[in-house]
Chains A and B, each alone.
Chain A
């Protein structure tokens, strides 16, 4: 039954992808991209990746769509279809698909417990997490502690990407003064206004729940940051840009982006100061297991703050120009 469901979802995924590439209307393509992300999230969920599904649903279907739409508002929402070179491209792509599919027969089948990927460090993580860190969610344990250095790098990539967007879009003033109507946001639309205002506190509450419940269930800083950012973007869309920027000024957002990454780094340095290694949380408390839990809680907070600030300031960088 689950296999059939998976086949159905995967086939829909391919159909959606074909539709995204074929449609000349970019607005339609972006909305289809949101559906594509939701289907992808459902696929991740039936493949046992609850944390990843939550991230994909929040980031892919939520934030990415909004950022694409604000970019469309600044460019053009129709594509001019050119026919040159399509047959050559189609040929290259078809040959590569055949080669790739031929190569898949060397891979272990779906769910094979003897696949090489399950023989390396993964069993160790699953065995040692209850003993060394004592939190139920192994994904959070690996993300925050065992591979904390890796995650620190990812947080800095988000930071750098955010700085890049600020430099590219903030370098020159917007070409024209903001139009008066846009300043109102969706205030003159009654239904989005009422529903959005009702939803907003619950989205933020859910984001905070995901942030602080990340050790026990699917969740953590990356997901929570994206969910809270989505809630605040909804607020910005409803109330208009100037109201949103008054509620959270751009400088506060930039301080969040840098502050979260700094908090993460400081927790790492604190490990050295207290006599351990960089990002070794065991020394943060007299009981190493409690130390690990404190460390993960703090770095997850850092991740959440950075991701939320980065996604919001990226959104504002686009929206201010509109």
Chain B
């Protein structure tokens, strides 16, 4: 059972690299941003994995509950705000992609480089 305790972290590592692969190996700018979103979600998963306490529950204090274990609220606060900031920055990236499409007529990296060389 102990080895399964690391499964979350393995998934984090794999997701992180799947996202990174999309960023470095795919030429389409939208695909790169999707990859970046996966990368970002992987980091969120790592933080939230750290907050879990065995036998704990969500950190909302129940009146009258004695000896109740609560999971760690701090990583949750950090990630909660990061998710909303994440969507705003992704939108910023997408708006740049839209302008690139209008200027170059393409969102494929090789075509954009070719247009720059001419």
Say whether A14 contacts B60, CB under 8 Å.
no
Complex formed: what's the CA distance from A206 to B79 in Å? 22
Cβ-neighbour of B53 out of A10, A74, A111, A162 (below 8 A): A111
Main secondary structure of the interface of A (DSSP, over half): helix
Contact of A110 with B80 at beta-carbon distance under 8 Å, contacts A44-B48, A165-B91 already known: no
Q: Does A233 contact B (CB under 8 A)?
A: no
Say whether A21 contacts B58, CB under 8 Å.
no
Say whether A49 contacts B13, CB under 8 Å.
no
Say whether B94 contacts A138, CB under 8 Å.
no
Say whether B70 contacts A93, CB under 8 Å.
no
Complex formed: what's the CA distance from A11 to B56 in Å? 23
Say whether A48 contacts B52, CB under 8 Å.
yes
Contacts of B94 in A (CB 8 A): 67-68, 71, 318
Chain B residues numbered 18-53 whose CB sits less than 8 Å from any CB in chain A: 18-22, 24-31, 33-35, 37-38, 41, 44-45, 48-53
Contacts of A223 in B (CB 8 A): 80
Say whether A79 contacts B4, CB under 8 Å.
no
Chain B 64-76, CB-CB to A under 8 Å as 1, else 0, gives 0000011111111
Complex formed: what's the CA distance from A72 to B48 in Å? 31
Chain A 35-65, CB-CB to B under 8 Å as 1, else 0, gives 0110010011001111110011001100110
Say whether B80 contacts A36, CB under 8 Å.
no
Complex formed: what's the CA distance from A27 to B45 in Å? 25
Q: Does A247 contact B (CB under 8 A)?
A: no
Complex formed: what's the CA distance from A314 to B50 in Å? 33
Cβ-neighbour of A318 out of B10, B51, B98 (below 8 A): B98
Chain A residues numbered 268-322 whose CB sits less than 8 Å from any CB in chain B: 307, 310-311, 314, 317-318, 321
Q: How many of chain B's residues have a CB under 8 angstroms from any CB in A?
A: 88
Contacts of A115 in B (CB 8 A): 50
Contacts of B56 in A (CB 8 A): 48, 111
Say whether B99 contacts A169, CB under 8 Å.
yes
Chain A 203-224, CB-CB to B under 8 Å as 1, else 0, gives 0000000000000111010110
Complex formed: what's the CA distance from A117 to B85 in Å? 23
Contact of A50 with B58 at beta-carbon distance under 8 Å, contacts A14-B18, A139-B80 already known: yes
Q: Within the complex, what minimum Cβ distance (angstroms) separates B48 from chain A?
A: 5
Say whether A52 contacts B54, CB under 8 Å.
no
Task: Mark the stretch among A151-159, A180-188, A237-245 that contacts chain B.
Answer: A151-159
Say whether B50 contacts A82, CB under 8 Å.
no
List residues of chain A with CB under 8 Å of any chain B CB.
Answer: 3, 6-7, 10-11, 13-14, 17-18, 20-21, 26, 29-30, 33, 36-37, 40, 43-44, 47-52, 55-56, 59-60, 63-64, 67-68, 71-72, 74-76, 79-80, 82, 85-86, 89-90, 92-94, 96-97, 100-101, 104-105, 107, 109-113, 115, 117-118, 120-122, 125-126, 129-130, 136-139, 141-143, 147, 150-151, 154, 157-158, 161-162, 164-165, 168-169, 175, 216-218, 220, 222-223, 225-226, 307, 310-311, 314, 317-318, 321
A14-B11, A117-B75, A161-B88 known; 6 new pairs, CB 8 Å cut-off, are A14-B15, A49-B51, A50-B60, A112-B5, A117-B72, A118-B72
